[in-house]
Amino acid sequence: MAKVTFSAKVPNQRLIREAMREIAERPRRSILISAGKKALKPMRDEAKRRVPKLTGNTAESIGTLVGRNRGDRYAANVILAPRVTKKYDGWYAHIIEGGARGVVKNKGRGILRKGTRYRRDIPARPFFEPAVKNNLDEAGRTYAEGMNKALESRIRRLQRVARKKAL
């Protein structure tokens, strides 16, 4: 699977950092996660469209996951990947994306007999990497817009609360 890392050029980054410091940690994390999920939505949709329809499980399993963040308190990990849980069955997405070499284990015998392992070559059918490459610039813009929009609404909410307390 392709590893995707992008950074968005956010205008007024210093002001945004100062505003983020004023917001408690939980709402700050939810702002970052919602902006990240909105940014990855076009990639997710295109990857679902591009995946070969074998059973439909792989397309169904592609989604956004939220990871833990151990370092920066002003960052959140939002991951676009096939999910593997009881409900989703996307464990073989990497084989569809990159292909696999065939296997024949015949224990030295000349012909394939019952009980030997055999798997034919599986050609690569990339669906994830093209989806990411096509939507990377748009994802950066969407992330920056989502951050600005979420921060503005959060700041307005804080101002309303401050006005109510002042009365």
Helix (H, G, I), strand (E, B) or coil at 44: helix
**Pairing outcome for strands 103-105 and 77-82:** unpaired
What are the residues facing 80 on neighbouring strands?
64
> 22: phi > 0 → left, psi -120 to 50 → alpha, else beta; which?
alpha
Residue with tokens 């205008």: 11
Summarize pLDDT for 112-145 with one digit per residue, the tens.
666 666 677 888 889 888 888 898 888 888 888 8
Mean pLDDT, all residues of the chain:
77
> Which of the residue ranges 23-37, 38-52, 63-77, 131-145 has the most confident prediction, judged by mean pLDDT?
38-52
Instruction: In whole angstroms, give the CA distance from residue 35 to residue 121.
Output: 40
Residue with tokens 């076009």: 42
Summarize pLDDT for 77-88 with one digit per residue, the tens.
777 888 777 777
How much of the chain exceeds pLDDT 90, in percent? 2
Query: How far does the chain reach from its first CA to its final CA, in angstroms?
Result: 56
pTM (global) more than 0.85: no
Instruction: In whole angstroms, give the CA distance from residue 86 to residue 93.
Output: 16
Which helix (H) or strand (E) segment holds residue 114: the answer is none
